[in-house]
Amino acid sequence: MRKPLLFFYSIIIVFSISYTSCKPDKTSPVITRDTTITPITAITSLVLDSNQVEQFISQQHMDKDKAVQFRNFYLSRNYQYTWFDEEGLTQQTSGFWNLYLHFVSFQPDSSLLDKTLQEEMQHYVDDSLHFNNDTIRLKTELGLTNLFFKYAQYAYAGKIDPAELQWHIPRKKLDLVSLLDSLADNKNVDFKKWEPVSSQYVLLRDKLSEYGNFAKRGGWDSLPYLPDLKRGKESLSIIKLKDRLSREGLFPASDSTALYDSMLFETIKLVRSRYGLNESGGIDKALINELNVPVETRISQILVNMERMRWLPKSNDKRYIVVNIPDFILTVFDDDTITLKMRVVVGKAGTSTVVFTNTLKTIVFAPYWNVPYSISKNEILPAIRRNKNYLANNNMEITGYSGNVPIVRQRPGGNNSLGKVKFLFPNSYNIYFHDTPAKSLFSRDFRAFSHGCIRLQEPFELAEYLLRDQPQWTPDSIQVAMNKTKETWVSIKQPIPVWITYFTAYTDNNNMLQFRNDVYGHDAIMIKKLFK
């Protein structure tokens, strides 16, 4: 299999950061040199002193951690200027400033805007060789450093604390002092590649620019549902549909005929796939509903998912499993290649699947299903009261009681709710992968029906892959174990990381933008926090 540009591989190698906020320290600071900081050699003769740094920290009302960060940066530089040399703005300064201006141009809030600094920078851009007011230069120098730290916190760590949104993937800290040092001292920085975020983030940012242009051109009008549009027919509605697709760059603008031809037929299949719809569905209500989503809403969706991509930590794993909840898809990656891909069923609203990461270590063939307390109380107990044979009919047994609620488990067998195998990656959310007897659900486009665990369309194939380097587990022996009437626990020789993620917009291997529905309403919550 060729090595494509892999979405989930690229998003996992993201750098992110978190800080602890403290109240400003109003006492006079004792300035001591951090012995862990190695001062740089002289780059410019322009210097400032510690009093000027401390005065700026006080004026900005920095909290303790940010003040230490700011102070340590200038200590490491022996108080040399960062953004200026004897000739004016440095090359790196211009590069960062353009990067910053581009970033704020597509942000929905104004938290990073600094009009005063922008005015001063415009003076330098217009007349960098002759604008030598020492006071303004000092103010601009310190202002740019402060802006960089704010920008990096936002751009590479994100504005929102992911823990507030049931996102339980740990974040990796980024040393912003070292990051700014590396930027300031490298005259050959390629700012298109410099940002410490994933390539997927950059691709999505490029798509954001495209959608900004769509918005400037007026977006697109809504289409009515057209049930009689069939291949080979002519209709004025076809003209409108082709125009709508061309406005989003999905169909040639030069084709304005009324014929539902083969080109439109193939385009419809492609467009359906970008929304996670069955490609054979044609021009149905589901497709029209997706096409009628306003461009402004799509822009918000892209921004929300760019924010999520800032949260992800770095990972050096070459083998891993990813489930993207809104996509209802599990993908296995091995050495940058997609090895296995299958449909899944995830938790329904109210028992949603949690976003987290852990390591898959164990396979259980012919598993018991230990019914969760909430299901026993709310579903099993009422069913027993209605039908005294309910347990026997469902191959269940009571193993004890918790108060008045029975502790129930379902024996291994064909109608077991976990099917014939489950895959364990221990976590506090009691979520795991498992087989299911309810196979019909995999044919649906929307697949959120479980109590939180993740049902697999092809559990045998996953077991075969995970046990491929354990010779005793042949395909035949796996089938035998799956069909026993007692559990068989197997430890995986090479445990594999599992990432449960939530992305409703991303680019695929062909750099085509993909959109998915906001299954749990997480996007809506983020929009309120991100855009206020």
- Reported as a single tens digit per residue, the pLDDT across 400-412 is 999 999 999 999 9
Same-domain status, 330 and 406: yes
Q: Which of 195, 211, 241 is the last residue of a domain?
A: 195
Q: Is residue 473 part of a domain?
A: yes
Average pLDDT over residues 98-124: 80
Can you tell me the distance from the alpha carbon of 206 to that of 210, in angstroms, rounded to the nearest whole number? 7
Q: How far apart are CA 203 and CA 11, in angstroms?
A: 11
Pair (286, 333) in one structural domain: no
The answer on 374 and 519 residing in a single domain is yes
Question: Is residue 359 located within the same domain as residue 460?
Answer: yes
Distance (Å, whole) CA 9 – CA 318: 9
Residues 474/168, Cβ–Cβ less than 8 Å: no
Asked, for residue 303, whether it belongs to a domain, the answer is: no
Q: Within this chain, do residues 247 and 320 fall inside the same structural domain, yes or no?
A: no
Mark whether 430 and 283 lie in a shared domain.
Answer: no
Distance CA 4, CA 181 (A): 34
CATH of the domain at 277: 1.10.101
In this prediction, residues 13-40 reach a mean pLDDT of 36
Tokens of 140: 């601009």
Neighbour-count burial of 137, counting CB atoms closer than 10 A to its CB (0-12 exposed, 13-18 middle, 19+ buried)? buried
pLDDT in tens, 414-446: 889 999 999 999 999 999 999 999 999 999 999
Q: Does residue 212 sit within a domain?
A: no
Residue 394 lies in a domain: yes
The model's pLDDT over 66-108, given as tens digits with 9 standing for 90+, comes to: 999 999 999 988 999 999 888 888 888 888 888 888 888 877 6
- Is the pLDDT at 364 greater than 90, yes or no? yes
- Same domain assignment for residues 119 and 181: yes
Give the domain-ending residue among 145, 180, 195.
Answer: 195
* 300 occurs within a structural domain: no
- 190 and 234 share a domain? no
What is the model's pLDDT at position 196? Answer: 63
Domain shared by 122 and 241, yes or no? no
CA end-to-end distance (rounded Å), the chain: 45
Span 178-210, pLDDT tens digits: 888 877 777 777 766 666 677 788 889 889 989
Q: Is residue 309 part of a domain?
A: no
Say how many domains are in the chain: 3
279 in the same domain as 179: no
Same domain, 76 and 152: yes
The domain in which residue 234 lies consists of: 220-293
Q: What is the C-alpha separation between 247 and 221, in angstroms, rounded?
A: 10
What the block records as the tokens of 316 is 């050096």
Among residues 293, 324, 344, which one ends one of the domains?
A: 293
In a domain, 302, yes or no: no
Average pLDDT for 51-68:
94
Same-domain status, 439 and 472 = yes
Q: Kindly state whether residue 457 falls inside one of the protein's structural domains.
A: yes
